[in-house]
Amino acid sequence: MKYLLLVLSLAFSALLPAQSDSTLTKEQAVINTIRTLFDGMRAGDSTMLRAVLHPNAHLQSSYTNKAGNPTLSTGSIDRWVSSVGTPHEDIYDEKIWSYKIRIDDNLASAWTDYTFYVGEKLSHCGVNAFHLVQTKAGWKISHITDTRRKTNCQTAFSDAKKEVNTLMDDWHKAAATGDEDVFFGSMTADGIYIGTDAAERWGRDEMAEWSKEYFEKDSAWDFTTLKRTVYLDADEELAWFEESLDTWMGECRASGVVAKTAAGWKIKHYHLSVTVPNDNIDQFLPIATPSSKKKVARN
């Protein structure tokens, strides 16, 4: 019954208007090629696999063997395609969570996080590293190397913006509750904090040392987020944001850069500034630092 539903779904999809190759970006065309490969795997259709594989395609796996040694094994494309096309009870379902595409001329590479299921059972996970070449018949997969593990497997699509917002909310909460471990643990080792004073440019560990007396209290400082906008790069490995904060200094603004690491999103750069209305600039100038005075542009 599962196969019948899958075949009917694929047949219905085939009746829908296809997006012309001429309207696709190169990146989209590469992604579509990879998706066709895994659609064919789910359908048990070896012809679909052959259609996107280069005649000289290679298949390899990189993993740590039972003895704890790094190992690279070479598989057989023909054997793999045959196994997909041989009737089997459970669907081979390789879920792809993200695509990182790089293209130059007729060569493309794609890095994809995946989790592989046999039916409903999680088998393993890792990363696929694809090489594709442009041919007269479109993009073809010339090489696949994957990694394989059974731990820390992703099981659902992530929401990067939500994760960044959670990171920043927890970071501000850590300062408000005097949680030094969470506050500085949320920054990369080379993280930078730029404060409102012209002399405040702290490295993470330098700031941790300076702020010890504040974090020994019930609250180091208490900033409440009024508004935040998060932006992501195409690979969703880097994000930047701007935010408005309610603080003891009045409304402040801040911007920052966060990076996705093996331990999750971490803050690489944070810049806090007070806001001074243009109508109050004349009152601000007498207390501004000499360097600030030189840079003030009058309206």
For 250, other C-beta atoms within 10 Å of its C-beta total 10
- Would you place residue 244 in the very low, low, confident or very high pLDDT band (cuts 50, 70, 90)? very high
Distance, CA of 116 to CA of 123 (rounded, Å): 6
- Dihedral angle, C-alpha 18, 20, 21, 23, nearest 10 °: -130
Copy the structure tokens of residue 237.
């490995």
- Residue with more model confidence, 160 or 292: 160
Amino acid occupying residue 37? L
Mean pLDDT over each residue of the chain, to the nearest integer: 90
163-193: pLDDT as tens digits:
999 999 999 999 999 999 999 999 999 999 9
Contact 110, 34 (CB under 8 A): yes
pTM of the model: 0.74
Integer Cα distance of 119 and 1 in angstroms: 13
The answer to whether 135 touches 156, Cβ cutoff 8 Å, is no
Q: What is the pLDDT of residue 20?
A: 47
Grouping H, G, I as helix, E, B as strand and the rest as coil, residue 285 is helix
241 by Cβ neighbours in 10 Å (0-12 / 13-18 / 19+) ranks as buried
- Report how far apart the first and last C-alpha atoms of the chain are (Å, whole number): 72
| Cα 152 from chain centroid (whole Å) | 16
* Type of residue found at 97: W
Q: State both tokens at 161.
A: 């913006």
pLDDT tens for residues 194-233? 999 989 999 999 999 999 999 999 999 999 999 999 999 9
Q: How far is Cα of residue 293 from the mean position of the Cα atoms in its chain? A: 41
Query: Is residue 2's pLDDT more than 90?
Result: no
CA 254 to chain centre: 23
Domains of the chain as residue ranges with CATH: 2-147 (3.10.450.50), 160-295 (3.10.450.50)
